[in-house]
Amino acid sequence: MATVAIDLKDALARCGRGEKAALRVIYESECPAMIGVALRIVKRRELAEEVVQEAYVKIWRNAHRYDPELGPPKAWLYAIVRNQALNVLRDGRREDLVDEVPEDMGSAVEAYQAIERLPDASALRRCLDGLEPRRRASLVMAYVDGFSHGEIAGRLAVPLGTVKAWIRRSLVALKECMG
């Protein structure tokens, strides 16, 4: 099967002009290798995918800044992925992820019991009960148990970005419900 040569310089120029199809060309050409680069740095598949997703957002926003005089397009693209992966490591978003759920989940059980002890007529109880169970669990784990977002992602086996979004949206929903 013959491979088609992709002109990344042209694709970046078109991407810089706002052509979404050009970003797709870059994505289809480079995404698997970019995930490989990110994976070697962050060591976790879900984090590597998140790194690459964030890198593509940066590529889209900054493609107009690419200068072919300063180097080849692949070097520019992979520098973005590498820097994004290193930023994830520096932020500490990787260190607090866990691979396994510890056997002692006593604090989580206590948190759920605390919610159950709230009066049925309590506005907080009503609002928490209105949340989707996994979102409620992530919120309770963060604010009652004190787990970091990374620890919650590891325990619930979901990407870190998903946990962050669940918690953010759940807090907004609680604020609206309580208001």
pLDDT in tens, 76-99: 999 999 989 888 877 764 444 444
pLDDT greater than 60 at residue 48: yes
Neighbour tally for 173: CB within 10 Å: 17
pTM of the predicted structure, to 2 decimals: 0.52
111-131 tens-digit pLDDT: 556 567 677 778 888 888 888
- Amino acid at site 166: W
* 90: CB partners within 8 A, 6+ apart: none
Q: Which domains does the chain have, with CATH numbers?
A: 8-91 (1.10.1740.10), 106-178 (1.10.10.10)
